[in-house]
Amino acid sequence: MIYIGIDLGTSAVKLLAMDEKGVIQKVVTKEYPLYFPHPGWSEQNPADWYEQTMEGLKELISGIDASKVAGIGAGGQMHGLVALDEKDQVVRPAILWNDGRTGKQTDYLNKVVGKEQLSKYTANIAFAGFTAPKILWMKENEPELFAKTAKIMLPKDYINYRLSGAFCTDYSDASGMLLLDVEHKCWSKQMMEICGIRREQLPRLYESYEVVGTLKPELAAFLGLSPEVKLVAGAGDNAAAAVGTGTVGEGRCNISLGTSGTIFISSRNFRVDDNNALHSFDHADGYYHLMGCMLSAASCNKWWMDEILRTKDYAKEQEKIEKLGENHVFFLPYLMGERSPHNDPDARAMFVGMTMDTTREDMTQAVLEGVIFGLRDSLEVARKLGIQVERTKICGGGAKSPLWKKMTANILNMEVDVIETEEGPGYGGAILAAVGCGEFPDVEQAAGQLVKVVDTVKPEPELVAKYEEKYQQFRKYYPAVKELFRE
């Protein structure tokens, strides 16, 4: 059978067709515009998502046996606010995850409602990108549009709604709205009251692998597919990507070195750290996960290479870096502020420790190391909760660098597994569809059979010791300059 995975990203939708053995048959990408109507705002038109998804599906299916397509699963950009009226018309452009307009509302939630109460209601505190602050912003700034809103959903749920008619979401994606009681897997009555919304405005909740409906007959006819094709609830992009890398079960870890950086730790049990430094979310495998999210990861290296060194030859710049664990230069990777574990939008990047003998290679090395030191800050929070992580998968554009993988293994003191198929949320969505269609009994078994490790980078004891000393130095810098950022 064939299972289709949809990755609804910020710049494009990526679709793939996977067979029951996990082999990818075809991949199609369709781009759509991103709008910045005011400084700090970030919006998209949900109709663009749907139109390009349909175009992508049509292209994907041509050339493969359409009669074998059994299910569709989507992973998508999280936190975005999609509002529909009673006639299912989009009320306003979707406000995206990277939109920064909700500072006032985020402060209200964290300081007036209070972080302790928010954590009690949702297991998390408010971040500017989350959905609840956007609802409050809309209520305050666009009251007429807010009053017209009959349905509130997330980006990938809009696609599911258009394809199947099911008004649904999954627990992993809903976790990032600040409306879900993550521990008990239900909408929080308190948060609905705070945001001024009703239960019927929110979608029905499902596990990511559960079937929510079938393809609408008219769309099936248009695409040349059976109307019996099943749609599963899908997952938020990070949870879907974790499924796609086999990061399911107890104590499994995945590190993503993309534009932003994440450390994703799956868990059988619900956990929250005392300071809410990590996101505590439901996972697509039916259990839970902790996640640390850095706002700048591979984008730090891109900035350094493209804007400062003015080169596109990233590999060449890394060739001469040899003295690992001995660099006297440090880099704080906060180019866009920081989310985990500091939750400080005012934080900024800086180099520390340059001397007259500092070289170009030292600076490049510091940028790469700084990102992994930042991820280790989140890992240390997880370790304090008693979670033992001994190895990690790695994905994202930064994972293509052998040097960066070696730094990751030694700074985190973990074995780093490189996987055969690195297609992110789309691959995870296809796996979830396969589980929903009964191809596998559960997500863990599916991922165990389909995700294959092709290489492992092991930490070297001597290098681990050197980097331990460097990390202890690195972790002193942010607390030392935190107040300067505020000023």
DSSP sequence for 204-263:
EEE-TTSEEEE--HHHHHHHT--TT-EEE--EEHHHHHHHHTT--STT-EEEEESSSEEE
pLDDT in tens, 331-363: 999 998 888 899 888 899 999 999 999 999 999
Residue with tokens 């596998």: 440
CA atoms within 13 A on the CB side of 254: 26
Of 288, 176, 247, nearest to 395 by C-alpha is 247
CA distance 330 to 391: 25
Tokens, residue 88:
């299912």
pLDDT in 10s for each residue of the chain, 487 residues = 999 999 999 889 999 999 999 999 999 999 999 999 998 899 999 999 999 999 999 999 998 999 999 999 999 999 999 999 999 999 999 999 888 899 999 999 999 999 999 999 999 999 888 999 999 999 999 999 999 999 999 999 999 999 999 999 999 999 999 999 999 999 999 999 999 999 999 999 999 999 999 999 999 999 999 999 999 999 999 999 999 999 998 889 999 998 889 999 999 999 998 888 899 999 999 999 999 999 899 999 999 999 999 999 999 999 999 999 999 999 999 998 888 899 888 899 999 999 999 999 999 999 999 999 999 999 999 998 888 898 999 988 899 999 999 999 999 999 999 998 878 899 999 999 999 999 999 999 999 999 999 999 999 999 999 999 999 999 999 999 999 998 8
Average pLDDT, the chain: 95
Q: What is the pLDDT of residue 258?
A: 85
Q: Report which DSSP code applies to 97.
A: T
Query: Environment class of residue 60 by beta-carbon count within 10 Å: exposed (0-12), middle (13-18) or buried (19+)?
Result: buried
Phi, psi angles (nearest 5°) of residue 80: -65, 140
Output the CA torsion sign for 212, 214, 217, 220. Answer: positive
Tokens, residue 78:
């999280």
Phi, psi angles (nearest 5°) of residue 13: -105, 130
E-assigned strand segments in 217-316 = 230-232, 235-236, 253-257, 261-267, 279-282, 288-294
CATH architecture classification, 2-238 = 2-Layer Sandwich (3.30)
78 labeled part of a ligand binding site: yes
Q: What is the pLDDT of residue 273?
A: 87
- The verdict on whether 237 is a catalytic residue reads yes
Query: Residue 338 in contact with residue 347, Cβ under 8 Å?
Result: yes
> Which residue type, as a one-letter code, is found at position 103?
G
CA distance 131 to 42: 13
Q: What is the pLDDT of residue 308?
A: 97
> Which residue type, as a one-letter code, is found at position 426?
G
Phi, psi angles (nearest 5°) of residue 411: -70, -40
Residue with tokens 């984008």: 299
Q: Residue ranges of the domains in the chain? A: 2-238, 246-421+452-487
Q: What is the pLDDT of residue 333?
A: 97
Tokens, residue 367:
């940028």
Looking at 48, 173, 237, 417, which residue is catalytic?
Answer: 237
354 labeled part of a ligand binding site: no
Tokens, residue 202:
């929110």
> Which residue type, as a one-letter code, is found at position 301?
N
Tokens, residue 430:
């296809």
CA distance 102 to 42: 12
Phi, psi angles (nearest 5°) of residue 73: -135, 140
CA distance 433 to 412: 33
Residue with tokens 């930042």: 374
Of 266, 227, 222, nearest to 245 by C-alpha is 266
CA distance 478 to 349: 10
- Hey, do 2-238 and 246-421+452-487 end up sharing a CATH topology, with the first three levels equal? yes
Tokens, residue 406:
């070696």
CA distance 429 to 235: 7
Q: Under CATH, what is the fold of the domain 246-421+452-487?
A: Nucleotidyltransferase; domain 5 (3.30.420)
- Helix-then-strand count for the chain, H and E: 18, 24
Q: What is the pLDDT of residue 421?
A: 82
Of 117, 102, 100, 45, nearest to 276 by C-alpha is 117
pTM of the model: 0.91
For residue 183, CA distances in Å to 226, 280, 461 come to 38, 9, 39
Phi, psi angles (nearest 5°) of residue 176: -90, 10
413: left (phi over 0), alpha (psi -120 to 50) or beta: left
Query: Residue 287 in contact with residue 207, Cβ under 8 Å?
Result: no
Query: Residue 7 in contact with residue 15, Cβ under 8 Å?
Result: yes
In which element (H, E) is residue 154 found? none
Angle, CA 419 vertex, CA 413 and CA 421 arms, to 5° = 155
Q: What is the pLDDT of residue 483?
A: 95
**Terminal CA-to-CA distance of the chain, rounded, Å?**
59
Q: What is the pLDDT of residue 123?
A: 96
Going by DSSP bridges, is the β-strand pair 69-76/2-8 parallel, antiparallel, or unpaired? parallel
Radius of gyration of the chain (CA): 22
